[in-house]
Structure 1
Amino acid sequence: MRNFLMAFLAFLPVSLMAQGWQLVGFGGVANYQGDLQDRRFTTQQAQIALGMGIQYDINKYFSVRGMANYGRISADDRFNKDAGLRNRNLNFKSQILEGSIQAIFRFMDLETKKWSPYLVAGVGVFGFDPYTHDTLGNKFYLQPLGTEGQGLAAYPEREFYKRVQLVIPFGGGVMLRVNDRITLGYEVGLRKTFTDYLDDVSTTYADPDQLLAARGPLAVELAYRGDELKNGSANPNYPTGSVRGGPEFKDWYYFQGITVNFRLGSGGRSGYNGKSMGRQLDCPRNIY
């Protein structure tokens, strides 16, 4: 992930000297869907998301862009409609750092139209690291604790999940040409991941005695937190081996918000073939 961002930043000054490029800015919210929040799309518990990138128009309808996005996701069992899951009382937060290359298809030509819907899809990598706080406000990262028995001899199939993984971004939106250099847009971008551990919850409850011996009392306390509730119990309502999460469904995260594209280069805009179009043809081309 770090190498990707370094390459991206090293390429940026070179790209700015070329005509036909745009700077892209993004601001909005991030959210997730997983074992602590099962709705596919919601703004409940949404957090901030920001991004920046560069884009190049291949022709009037297709563009490519490179983006670096930052977002925060979180969820808490106390908002769950299922009483049993509320009694589980788990919660998490995580930062998301993402780098991607995306292709954009516009349905209309922004040389002649003021606005256009569009689709976007690509490939990237992202980093995440779920954490929580105890009742005293102390912060603990969850992956090293192996709360579901990762790394224990009793669960040889459960390995520690990787915190940098592949992601497939896709989505769409609407863009509006403001003037010769600026294009605004509203975009919703879903992220298909290949992990069920954005929230550190996936499979079944590990044996608390084995977890205690291998990982210590903190791992046991954060695997099931019903005792933190009023009249709650430290003994899970679910026996060892019962369902804690749903591994058959991978977690998702998504961004939505406003994009701003600023066209670079001096003088009038260059055409899609790289030649000057002249002031009489100087219609904004989009995008993002």
Structure 2
Amino acid sequence: MRKYALLCLLVPVFSQAQESHRLHLTLFGGVTNYQGELQGRTFTFNQSNLGIGAGLKYDLTPHFAIRTGIQYGTIGASDRDNNDAKLRPRNLSFESRILEGNLLLEYTLFNMEEKRISPYVFGGIAVYHFNPYAFDTLGNKVFLKPLSTEGQGLTAYPDRKQYKLTQFAIPFGGGIKFRISDNVILGYEIGLRKTFTDYLDDVSTRYVDNGELLRERGLKAVEMSYRGGELKDGNPTYPAADELRGNSKTKDWYYFQGLTLTIGIGGTGNGGGGWGGGRGKTGCPRNVY
């Protein structure tokens, strides 16, 4: 009996090495959006775009895990859909691809070896690349940063520096996940990204003198920095220098939300962490005395 009990104690140790799905493949599919000068809503599906992602997750304990991955999506907005009616006459718009790499720590409230459903939260650090662009009246794609639409890099505005297209962000969020098999967990999550730039949409502060902008960046820069004249009955007069164009006091945000799929890899056992708690896969009694 003692030999049988000892065997039952040792089998889970060896089987965990073989079956522990501590390593997982993660897949994401959903939508991407942003909050900034052209999209004032804190959180909305309005003007959202497709977002996808993939990565790896490693379970440290039944509750804590490390995640790393790549996510890709498009953000964009137009003043025509701006919830602030006072901003619609400027008629600005933008789009930008977002490519992000992240490293996250995830906390799951319940042990997924014992529960089928659990809420979870996560946070960490990310590096992302963006490059805002818009389409001119002929439908041509025009990247906005080289135009210095708010005087970035112009000799007449030495205090306005060019923004970097690759930057750090702080990702955080949460969701809920549901075990659909021993090896697969389905979830729904919302992940916010706090950025340190106000130029995801190329709009941040005040208009510059259109003569200076024309001289150093050309006519296209003037055309793309104020587009009120393109509207029916719109005002074609370029705003005076130093008139407000954006709100530099707040930084832009972007976020992903959608479905996640977590698939255990590297073994044939359970898919929620491989801790063996509560599943009894060895067939041994839980209490041997």
User: How would you bin the TM-score normalised by the shorter chain?
Assistant: 0.7 to 0.9
Indicate if the aligned counterparts of 2:79 and 2:87 stay in contact, CA closer than 8 A. yes
Look up the equivalent residue of 1:240 and give its one-letter code.
Answer: A
1:89 to 88, 91, 99: 91
Q: 1:281 to 1:58 in 2, by over 3 A?
A: farther
Per-residue deviation at 1:239?
Answer: 1.9
Question: Structure 1 residues 272 and 235 mapped into 2: Cα distance closer, same or farther (>3 Å)?
Answer: closer
Q: State TM-score, norm by structure 1.
A: 0.87
Q: Please tell me whether the aligned partners of residues 54 and 70 of structure 2 are also in contact (alpha carbons under 8 angstroms).
A: yes
2:213–2:222 CA contact under 8 A, matched in 1:
yes
Consecutive unaligned residues in structure 1, runs of 5 or more:
1-17, 283-288
Q: Is contact 1:118–1:173 with CA below 8 Å preserved after alignment?
A: yes
Letter in 2 for 1:242: E
Over 3 Å counting, the alpha-carbon distance change for 1:39 and 1:281 in structure 2 is farther
User: What letter is aligned with 1:31?
Assistant: N
Work out whether 1:259 is the aligned partner of 2:249. Answer: no
What is the one-letter code of the residue matched to 2:50?
I
Q: In structure 1, what is the equivalent of residue 228 of structure 2? A: 226
1:191 corresponds to: 193
Residue identity over aligned pairs, in percent, reads 49
The partner residue of 1:144 within 113, 137, 146 is 146
Q: Distance in 1 between matches of 2:91 and 2:173?
A: 33
Match of 2:175 among 170, 173, 176: 173
The equivalences for 1:197-276 within 5 A come to 197-236=199-238, 238-269=239-270
Partner of residue 40, structure 2: 38
Contact 2:114 2:279 in 1 (8 A): no
Q: 2:121 is matched with which residue?
A: 119
After superposition, give the CA deviation of every residue in 1:107-157 in whole Å (9 maximum; x if it has no partner).
111111010000010101000000000111001000011000111122111
In structure 2, the CA distance between the partners of 1:254 and 1:270, relative to structure 1 (3 Å rule), is closer
Question: Contact 1:271 / 1:277 at 8 angstroms: preserved in 2?
Answer: no
Contact in 2 for aligned 1:132/1:139 (Cα 8 Å): yes
SS of corresponding position for 1:209: helix
CA 1:271–1:77: 2 relative to 1, 3 Å: closer
Q: Distance in 2 between matches of 1:281 and 1:108?
A: 23
Tell me how large the CA RMSD over aligned residues is. 2.2
Tell me: CA distance 1:45–1:276, structure 2 relative to 1, closer, same or farther (3 Å).
closer
Return the offset for 1:234: 2.1
- Deviation of the 1:82 alpha carbon: 3.1
Paired position in structure 1 for 2:7 = none
Residue 25 of structure 1 deviates from its aligned partner by 0.1
> How far apart, in 2, do the equivalents of 1:161 and 1:257 lie?
30
- Separation in 2, partners of 1:267, 1:59: 19
Mapped to 2, the partners of 1:278 and 1:229 lie a distance apart of: 65
Amino acid at match of 2:166: V
- Report the residue type matching 1:249 in the other structure: T
Distance in 2 separating the partners of 1:82 and 1:197:
19
* Aligned AA (1:162): K
User: CA–CA distance in 2 between the matches of 1:269 and 1:207?
Assistant: 64
Computing the radius of gyration over CA atoms, which structure comes out larger, 1 or 2? Answer: 2
Using a 3 Å threshold, how does the CA distance of structure 1 residues 273 and 84 change in structure 2: closer, same or farther? closer
Q: Secondary structure at the match of 1:280?
A: coil
Instruction: Indicate the residue corresponding to 1:49 in structure 2.
Output: 51
Q: Tell me: CA distance 1:92–1:51, structure 2 relative to 1, closer, same or farther (3 Å).
A: same
CA distance in 1, matches of 2:64, 2:140: 48
Change (3 A) 1:192 1:271: closer
CA distance in 2, matches of 1:23, 1:157: 46
Q: Deviations over 1:227-247 (max 9, x none)?
A: 1011223213x4210110111
Following superposition of structure 1 onto structure 2, how do residues 38-77 of structure 1 map, counting pairs within 5 Å? 38-77=40-79
